Amino acid sequence: MIGFLSKRLAQSLLVMLIMSALVFVAVFAIGNPVDVLIDPRATQAEINAAMKALGLDQPFWMQYKTFLANLVKGDVGNSWVYNESALKIMMQRLPATLELAISALVIAIVVGIPLGAYAGLKPDTPSARFIMGSSILSFSVPAFWVGLMLIVIFGVKLHWLPIAGRGETISVFGIPFSFLTLDGLSHLILPAFTLSLSRIGMVIRLVRSGVREVLGQDYIKFARAKGLKESRIVRVHVLKNALIPVITVMGADFAGLLTFAVVTETVFAWPGMGKLIIDSIAMLDRPMIVAYLMVTVLIFILVNFIVDVLYAVIDPRISLTGAKS
């Protein structure tokens, strides 16, 4: 286990390093941020002073060196727009996105697993066919359209649910959460459902194919030959095996859910990281973009690590050290 951890840590650091270089080069190539930031009537002397203040007069490699040195200290610089630590602003926005993504994941699992299991167990029934057809539809329609339709129906026409912002929040350990208040929860429903829709389809399809595959296995026949009740066969023997791929795929997908909630956040004016990055790109706020990308990479690494550990916990045949037990 320790061997696995240390190996994984070394790999992660390498990934972070490569990513930082890529991010830096890409952001550097976008253009001179001073042109955007500064008053167009500024004199050349003022522009030069601003460039010096931001460190942009240095050669490229010097800038990268400073950047790396600061990164090691956990400092990606101050946002040029807000003039505050970019990382701090990121962290203020992270809980909102986290809350949205986790809610979407929970909805996807709670709705997707039963529907997928049903479609796998009774594949020839009309309702199973309907579920499978709907699942294709669910990840075919674009999220922004679904979001807009939900706003029109539930917000504008029916006035059932609010359509923008997080609503009332309660702070736990200094982190604000929406789902703890009724008002916050009602704000959360529409964006979370929008974000989860394509994932529901994915879970349904994964569970269904898993169930279909497991049902054909000899150990299911053996379980039937033992005279077990059908409910136990499904619960214990079928689902436990069929859910293994769901966990790996959904786990890896969760990082994507977190970072690419951009569209949903924009549509519902959800004050998360996604909305922040869109604004920052428009302003060419370089430290903000870098902070976003580095946090994203970190999240991906972390989530994948958790998935690997989970996988080993669930499937006894997998061992983290790689050696056969």
Partner 1 sequence: MSALLRVENLHTHVVLKDQTIKAVNGVSFSVAPGEIVGVAGESGSGKTLTGMSIIGLTQSPIKIISGNIQLDGDDLRSASPETLRKLRGQKIAMVFQDPMMTLNPVLRIDVQMMEMINAHEKVSKSEARTRCVTALAKVGIPEPERRLHQYPHELSGGMRQRVAIATAMLLSPKLIIADEPTTALDVTVQAQILKEMQALCKENGTALIWITHDLAVLAQIADRIVIMYDGKIVETGTAKQILLKPKHTYTQSLLASLPKAAPDADKGKHIVTDSAPTLIKLTNVHKTFGKQSGLLGKFAQRLRLTTAPLITDAVIDANIDIKRGEIFALVGESGSGKSTLGRLACGLLQPTGGRVEYNGVESFRPKTQNAKQARLAVQMVFQDPQSSLNPRMRVLDIIGQAPLAHGLVSRANLEDYVSKQLERVGLDISIKDRFPHEFSGGQRQRISIARALAVNPKVLILDEAIASLDVSIQAKILNLLAKLRNELELTYIFISHDLGVVEHISDRVAVMQKGRIVETGPTREIFANPKHIYTQTLLNDVPRIDALNHI
Query: Rule CB under 8 A: which residues touch partner 1?
Result: 2-3, 6-7, 217-219, 221-230, 232, 236-237, 240-241, 244, 314-317, 321-325
Distance (Å, whole) CA 235 – CA 241 = 10
State in angstroms the smallest separation of the CB of 155 from partner 1.
45
State in angstroms the smallest separation of the CB of 6 from partner 1.
5
Q: Could you give the C-alpha distances from 48 to 45, 170, 195, in angstroms and in order?
A: 5, 46, 45
Q: Which is nearer to partner 1, 63 or 209 (CB)?
A: 209
Q: Which is nearer to partner 1, 81 or 211 (CB)?
A: 211
State in angstroms the smallest separation of the CB of 134 from partner 1.
25
- What's the burial of 209, exposed, middle or buried (CB within 10 Å: 0-12/13-18/19+)? middle
In three-state secondary structure terms, 175 is strand
Q: Which is nearer to partner 1, 3 or 31 (CB)?
A: 3
In three-state secondary structure terms, 318 is coil
In three-state secondary structure terms, 130 is helix
Q: Which is nearer to partner 1, 170 or 313 (CB)?
A: 313
Measuring CA to CA, which residue among 201, 308, 280, 252 is closest to residue 33? Answer: 280
Token couple for 81: 């727009």
State in angstroms the smallest separation of the CB of 246 from partner 1.
14
Q: Dihedral of CA 57/62/64/65: which sign?
A: negative
Q: Which is nearer to partner 1, 15 or 320 (CB)?
A: 320
Q: Which is nearer to partner 1, 241 or 296 (CB)?
A: 241
The secondary structure of 192-259 as a DSSP string is HHHHHHHHHHHHHHHHHHHHHHHHTSHHHHHHHHTT--HHHIIIIIIHHHHHHHHHHHHHHHHHHHHH
State in angstroms the smallest separation of the CB of 254 from partner 1.
22
Q: Which is nearer to partner 1, 81 or 234 (CB)?
A: 234
Phi, psi dihedral angles at 171 (to 5 degrees): -90, 130
State in angstroms the smallest separation of the CB of 10 from partner 1.
9
State in angstroms the smallest separation of the CB of 315 from partner 1.
6
